[in-house]
Chains A and B, each alone.
Chain A
Amino acid sequence: MFASSSLMALFKRDLLIAFRNRGELLNPLMFFLMVASLFPLAVTPDPKFLGLIAPGIIWVGALLATLLSLDLMFKSDYDDGSLEQIILQPQPTLLFVLVKTLLHWLMAGLPLTLMAPLLGVMLALPEGGYVPLVLSLLLGTPTLSLLGSIGAGLTVGLKKGGMLMPLLILPLYIPVLIFAASSVQAGIDGNTYTGHLAFLGAYLALMLVLAPVASAAALKISIAR
């Protein structure tokens, strides 16, 4: 009873903070948009060629945009002492980590997913690619948030952790990238893509169980100094 109320309170608090600083929410979206809009200018505006590389560009853009927004996941809580208060709650820290991860996905992964079809149009993504693109982002971006929470937890106490986190978690992002981009390609080619999506779903299920545990442990290490 009390557990749910303090989790709910954290959820509401962070939504309120996000609403007050809503400019920051646009950062990952702007990055995503810039990546997608610069490619046609730099490479070629030829729709045939763009359609070929569109799945890759969109997914790489979404992945990097997520990566950029991870720094903020625990940073302010660490700086102002909220993180100590969270860890000292009687409830397991991993529940709070799950709430923070959900919030991160709501503020980064979900908007990116909703924006992706628009970028698809800009990059002349062939028609068969839209459904697998949205589905793969829907299944893939939560995994990116979950994996990212581990890296964010480990590096939150470091003053110069800038490059460390991408190094830590990019290898774990690779499977998501491969299967997601190839699901879109399969859709474009008219092949079945359920296998790819099934893999993304399985990876998500696995990380839903493992990542909060790892992330909570990482936060405790960060705070122990």
Chain B
Amino acid sequence: MSHLDKQKADNALPSLLSGQDLYCERDDRVLFDGLSFDWHKGQIVRISGANGSGKSTLIRILLGLSASYEGQLFFSGRPMKHATYDFRNALLYLGHQVGIKTSLSPEENLNWLCPQANRSEVYQALEKVGLKGFEDVLASGLSAGQQRRVALARLYLEDKTIWILDEPFTAIDKDGVAQLEQRIIEHAQAGGLVILTTHHQLAVDVEEVALGEFTSSVHATKHHETGEAQ
């Protein structure tokens, strides 16, 4: 009952991020077609699919880093191209490469990535991701997992509504995975929107976007359209 009420309330709000009829192909292969979604505050969206099914491509399209798609994106009900500034202001993105400089220490890296955070906040965040005592060690001396943890500290430092995380659990150990999952759930409960790609099963209900299934259904509908165009 309460769940239904909540959903109704959600639907009444304008969605935070939505897409209409997205179509993308790569090397003559349709990655997705007619992909539409409405994502609200408080949701966790998991983009799943086999390797090469277009998860990262979809992420890059959402971010506005790739323009090779058709269809429309909206942020808070406004077309994305008029809302880019507000969207990027509300965005925290962690990709495959997380932007950690190996010739800087974790603290110095975070000083750049989160310029608004002060020193004690940075130290607290580093402690939360298990890097206490590593604040002044050059990142070149840290393991791959520790370097990713430096970037994950941003999740404790920045006040952004939309998190887009591309494979956030890569190279993170078991405890770290549990903690990160906890942080993601907290963020959604606090009214944030989390969009992530992962093969990891989260402990809570998530909105699933399964890629790869589109390709089979696509060919029938899209095939004659492209045939006409040519």
Contacts and interface: CB of A to CB of B under 8 A. Distances in A.
B66 A17 contact: no
Given A2-B116, A90-B88, A13 B65 contact: no
A16 B65 CA distance: 28
A131 interface: no
Contact of B112 (A2, A12, A223): A12
A224 B67 contact: yes
> Chain B's interface: helix, strand, loop or mixed, by majority?
loop
Given A16-B104, A16-B108, A224-B67, A80 B115 contact: no
Nearest to A4: B115
Nearest to A5: B115
Interface string A84-113: 110111100000000000000000000000
Interface residues of B, number: 30
A223 B65 contact: yes
A91 to B, nearest CB: 8
Interface string B93-107: 101111111111000
Nearest to B68: A224
A27 interface: no
Query: Most chain-A CB neighbours within 10 Å: which of B93, B97, B104?
Result: B97
A81 interface: yes
Contacts of B85: 90
A225 B98 CA distance: 18
A107 to B, nearest CB: 15
> Chain A's interface: helix, strand, loop or mixed, by majority?
helix
Interface string B36-70: 00000000000000000000000010011111100
B7 interface: no
Nearest to A225: B66
A94 to B, nearest CB: 14
A21 B104 contact: no
B115 A8 contact: yes
A20 interface: yes
A177 B101 CA distance: 36
B177 interface: no
Contacts of A5: 115-116
A87 B65 contact: yes
Please provide the 3 A-B residue pairs with the shortest distance between their CB atoms, ordered closest to farther: A81-B97, A9-B115, A82-B99
10 contacts: A2-B116, A9-B111, A20-B104, A76-B101, A80-B101, A82-B99, A82-B101, A85-B99, A88-B65, A225-B66
Interface of B: 60, 63-68, 84-86, 88-89, 91, 93, 95-104, 108, 111-113, 115-116
Interface of A: 2, 5-6, 8-10, 12-13, 16-17, 20-21, 76, 79-82, 84-85, 87-90, 220, 223-225
Given A12-B112, A76-B101, A224-B66, 13 more contacts: A5-B116, A9-B115, A10-B112, A81-B95, A81-B99, A82-B99, A85-B99, A87-B65, A88-B64, A88-B88, A90-B86, A223-B65, A224-B67
